[in-house]
Chains A and B, each alone.
Chain A
Amino acid sequence: MRFFSPYFILSFLLAFGAATAAYSQTKGNLWLATGLQLQSGRDRGFSPMIYSGNRSFSLAAFGIESPHKTETFQFEFGYGPLTNRFGNSLNALSAGLLNYTFYHKESPAERGLHWGWSNQNVFNIRRHNGFTNYSLRYDYFTAIGPALRYTYPFEWKGQSFKWQTLAHWQVVGFQIKSGYIGADPEGLSEEKTGFGNLLRAVDPFFAGKEWSMGLESSLIWTLPTGNSLAIRYRPEISSLGGGQPVQRLGQAVLVMVTIRLW
């Protein structure tokens, strides 16, 4: 409680006000969304079988829109059990940070097609419920690639709506994946220096050998307050090669609230 003293809160509000003034040409938005994701995946380290199921999926995003570009930082979280066609199950958790930057110097931000780039960072971990040993496996990748956004505002029965679709394709980056048998990546414990081991465990991510791409398509109803409600459909695929390949396919339907911050 001592940390959150009145002086600290006052300092924070002053700093926040100053930052907001500096961003007077910008708009700030916060998105909160939750829903269900139908996920299917295969980890050859566990099985040649597909495991699929509906799991909870949520995201929180913060966006800054300036006259020439829009930046979005989106944190995502999914968790739930997946089963194969014989009823064997695993629990799958994922957490990620997906960032977009779109440029709109030549056209208004509220309408039209905008190009940009994206950066995706995803950590997936799964525990097999039928295996006593080596039941935990995980993977992580960070990659960048091009992104596309299409926004179409329209009115219906006197209400303001917007249809927005974002697409991203990850081209180059790096990945860390569980080993051939165990949870730890190959090479992680070969030397005593932690950093050297970490470098040994990292593999490149190249489009063609690895894949990660997705869409986020939203129908947004803008309220008179400037806030909005939306539904979002979000298909995505990813595939990591090398060692024991991991493939994943997800389709999420989310209910979303957008809060206008400034």
Chain B
Amino acid sequence: MVKQARYFWILVFFLLSCEQWVLPTDPSPDPIEVFDRLWEDVNDRYSFFSHKAIDWEQVRETYRARVSDDMGQLELYELLADMLFELRDGHVNLSTGFNRSRNWDWYQEFPVNYDENLIEQEYLGTDYWISGPLLHQVLDEVLYVNYRSFAQRISESNLQVVVERAKRSRGVIIDVRNNGGGNLSNAELLASAFAEEEMEYARQRIKSGPGPEEFGPWEPMVLNPWEEGTFTGLVVVLTNRRSYSATSFFAQMMKTLPNALLLGDQTGGGGGTPVFGELPNGWTYRFSATQTVDLENRQLEDGVLVDLRLDLDPAAMQRGEDNLIEAAISLLRR
């Protein structure tokens, strides 16, 4: 018994001694370690180095020289935020609890082209319909639909109401200006209500390894018609530079449809789906890990181009008009 029991204790000792070997302790939260972890993860999983011609090694040389283990949390945050800013990507954030870094250059240097108060006062009025996140009103026999965030879920009954009203109108305007994105499934559902047949609208690939060109295969992104019934009349989609991420995908879906056109300014981009990560000091971050191209191999990261380029006219605004909505109504009534 005593001899054989030794086997058990040897096994227990062996198993417990494996703990450190199988599961080493957490990495150190020191600034140098934190910097290296972030730089390395971005290096391995970010998807647009080649497309944006970013020399990430050079970025490391520039910023790592400024990191020291005695620097404070705020100082480290600012340095890491500056480093991430070099990616020129709205899907890149560093979240610390006390601040969140971001890059909003994709819309800040461009015309706003949107005035929510003007739309509420002159177009939606006081008797517009609210179907979930979809605000809609009939303007000169045209259905105007305003959708402010794809993060807000559209239910099938919400969509049913819009489709039924659209069928009684001469056309539909979908205003997604200033819609910063959200959930892609909402974009697919809304676009499916205007699709007559199954249609490929883009292709996407995902990082599959640490090399800058290590991606999985291009996979088609397909839009299917909504099973509950679709509106196949004319649709005009209004976009501006603040139409971002899922809104760019929506714009691309609608652009592919033969019965829809885009009017306004190009979207802001956001064609890379962000992946999340965590640093040894508890901060979290995200950055793009995929690429999406349209049917002409143009990156959605660069924005979806409109069919009719038009800016908001200050003179029209003075008259109480949104000249983009007016142009859309004219197109649909023609």
Contact = CB atoms under 8 A, between A and B. Distances in A.
Nearest to A152: B1
B232 interface: no
B277 A50 contact: no
B206 A50 contact: no
Interface stretch (B6-14, B72-80, B163-171): B6-14
B4 A247 contact: no
B208 A179 contact: yes
Interface residue tally on A, bucketed by range: 35 or more
Interface residues of B, number: 38
Contacts of A238: 22
B1 A134 contact: no
Contact of A134 (B275, B280, B282): B275
Contact of B282 (A40, A88, A133): A88
B110 to A, nearest CB: 26
B276 A132 contact: yes
B212 to A, nearest CB: 13
A64 interface: no
B217 interface: yes
B interface: dominant SS: mixed
| Most chain B CB within a 10 A radius of its CB, from A150, A180, A215, A237 | A180
Nearest to A181: B289
A211 B7 contact: no
Interface stretch (B23-31, B101-109, B255-263, B294-302): B23-31
B242 interface: no
Given A49-B278, A86-B282, A190 B22 contact: no
A66 interface: no
A179 B37 CA distance: 20
B209 interface: yes
B280 A48 contact: yes
Given A148-B7, A180-B206, A182-B206, 14 more contacts: A46-B277, A49-B278, A49-B280, A133-B276, A134-B276, A150-B5, A152-B4, A181-B206, A181-B290, A186-B208, A186-B216, A190-B216, A235-B12, A235-B15
